[in-house]
Structure formats: structure tokens, C-alpha cells
Amino acid sequence: MVAVSARQARCHPQPAVVDNVCTGCWRWFPGTARTCPGCGAPLTPSNAAAASPALADPPRPPAPAPAAAVAAPPRSHRLLWVLVFTIVLSFAMGIFPLPQLGLWGNPGCSFPGATCTRVLFIGNSYTSVNDLPDTFADLAWAGGHRVQTQALDEGGWTLQEHLAAPETATTLASEHWDVVVLQEQSQIPSLAVDRTQMMYPAATGLVAEIRARDAQPMLYLTFAHQDGWPEEGLADYPTMQTAIDTGYLGIADQLSVPVAPVGVAWEAVVGQASHPALWESDGSHPTASGTYLAACVFYATIFRESPVGLGDDGGLPASEAHDLQAVAAATVLGDPTEWGLPA
């Protein structure tokens, strides 16, 4: 029987109960029990002994398990949190997808509150091959400019066809374009009769529509064929390029429209002792180097900034990209007024 002090008796009155221990399983139990609560044996003087003071105290609760032994949250709870996280992330990406955040490529104009330049290209395969609009947009992003581009560039189309197509008016009305680039079919500007009867009337009509939308029209002065156009008296590349320059600059001056002088920069590169291939094997369409050169010219023309030193190389060797950047900068910014640009 456990001894109880007088103070304990006053504060916590205890019943007169004898505590015992079963000698079969050595389980502690109160003296009022008739069978062992551990092994169920009847309690008799032969198998029950009075508890010692050490055994008489109620057993202490087990110590808390070490931190490492704490049970992990149920699997269902983990799956629930993963699901919630995925839904929240998907919602956020719907509003601000990674390209819009600028984590790769140009993020475009959909990021709220961002300053952005919207450029529409109207042309044909000279615009679509190697994706000139996208190449320009990536270059612009490397220079710190957000750009959104779109293109109407059916193969072989003339400006006359674009003027007549309903899609042209619809696209012009679809956005507030800052710049609309006009690129004529590759041969028409080089023949006086064709540009007078076809290019000039179509360019005049398109420029009027573009200005009505409060956008800036711009002419894409293209490059000549590698071997000229002998069938029409343009014996070689330089001869045809001169005729194309005349065609574009004539209508640009008449309509007061700025020019992106891609063909002039192209000729400067071809005039170098060593230069990358600018034409595809067909002698007409641009290689990746030719398209990158065109993008550099548009960068300098639209932003009035040099592309030299921009980190985007269009997938070209760094030294080649740098040389093409330098030619574009010298061509456009050497005398901006020649291309209808502010000095």
C-alpha cells in the first residue's frame, strides 16, 4: 500500500485501496480487482503481491517520438496539395505564360502595361522564308524592345493581290499596328512598266489604308536575284539591284514613306571579299544569313538604333552575326534621311 502524506490526504483525499501486482505477468492493478487485467488470471494471495512504492505510481505516458519518426501526412493530403498547386500554376500561366514573361524569345504585347511595338508584314515568301518577322522580334527583344509581329505572306503574292484581298483590311483593323511593312513581288519593282501599272497603284492604295488606321507604312526594299533577270535585260545581280532600288525609292519619295533598305545592305555584304551565302540554291530566296541581315536592317530602321552587339545571333556564328549587324547599322544609320528617316 502506498503511503500518503497528511498534506496529500487533505488536498487530494484518497480511497483506502490496496494496490497489487500480478506475479504471473507482473502487471500493476488496483486492489479492488478480482482478476488480473493483463493476463486474466484470478487474483489470489498466491499470485498477487502488494505493489512496491515504485510500482504503485500510475505509469507515465510514453515520451514523444523523435522528429524523424513523426508520421508523414497521409498520401491523400499530399496529392491534394499537388493538385491545388497545379491548378494555381496553370491559372497563372494562362494569364502570364512563360513567353510573355520573357523567359524565352520575345514576349510580345500581351503583358499588361508593357511598352510594345506592333509590326505587320505584308509580302510573300521573301518575308516568310526563315520567318523574317520572328527573327526580327527575337533581335528586338535582345535590344530590350517588346515586339508583336504578324504576317500576310502568301508565296508569290503581289501588293495588288494584297490590296484586293479582304483579309488585308480585316488584319489591318484587328490591331493598332505601329508599323506596316509592304514588300512587293521580287521582280515587279525592277521593270518600269510593271511598277508603274502594278506596284505603284497598289502601294498607294495600301499606304492610304494603313495611314487611315493611324499606322506607319514602311517599304521593304528587297534584294535582286543572284544572276539578275537576263530575260528582261537585267544581265546580272548589280543591274537588277539598281533597278529595284529605283523602283522602291521612287514610290517611297512620291508617298513620303520610309524605306528599310535591305537590298542595299545585301549589296554591301556581297561586295566584301569574303561573305556568307545570302541566297538559297534557287538564287532568289534568302538563306538564314540573308534573313538575319534583313532583320538587322529592320531593327535599325524601326528603332533608329544600331543592332551591333545584340546578343541574339539568329543561330549564326557570333562573328558572322556581328559583321551582318555592322553592315545593317552602317547602311541605315549612316544617312537616315536617304531612307526617309529622321536624321
270-326: pLDDT as tens digits: 999 999 999 999 999 999 999 999 999 999 999 999 999 999 999 999 999 999 999
Q: Under DSSP, is residue 301 helix (H, G, I), strand (E, B) or coil?
A: helix
CA–CA dist 312, 292 (Å, integer)? 10
pLDDT tens digit sequence for 69-99: 455 556 666 677 767 666 755 554 444 444 4
- The three-point CA angle 113-208-264 to 5° equals 80
pTM of the complete model: 0.71
CATH superfamily of 117-334: SGNH hydrolase (3.40.50.1110)
Q: CA quadruple 101, 102, 107, 109: dihedral positive or negative?
A: positive
Average pLDDT, the chain: 84
User: What is the domain partition of the chain in residue ranges?
Assistant: 7-56, 117-334
pLDDT at 31 (0 to 100): 63
Strands 48-50, 19-22: pairing is antiparallel
Among candidate residues 187, 221, 189, the one with its CA nearest the CA of residue 202 = 189
pLDDT at 164 over 90: yes
Predicted confidence at residue 54, as pLDDT, reads 45
What CATH number does the domain located at 7-56 have?
Answer: 2.20.28
Q: In the predicted model, what is the mean pLDDT of residues 168-172?
A: 97
Q: What is the pLDDT of residue 108?
A: 81
Q: Say what the pLDDT of residue 5 is.
A: 43
pLDDT in tens, 179-200: 999 999 999 999 999 999 999 9
Which of 202, 93, 109, 95 lies closest to 150 in space, CA to CA?
109
CB within 8 Å of 167: residues ≥ 6 apart: 152
- Look at residue 101 and tell me whether its pLDDT is greater than 50: no
When mean pLDDT is compared across 48-57, 80-89, 132-141, 228-237, the lowest value belongs to 48-57
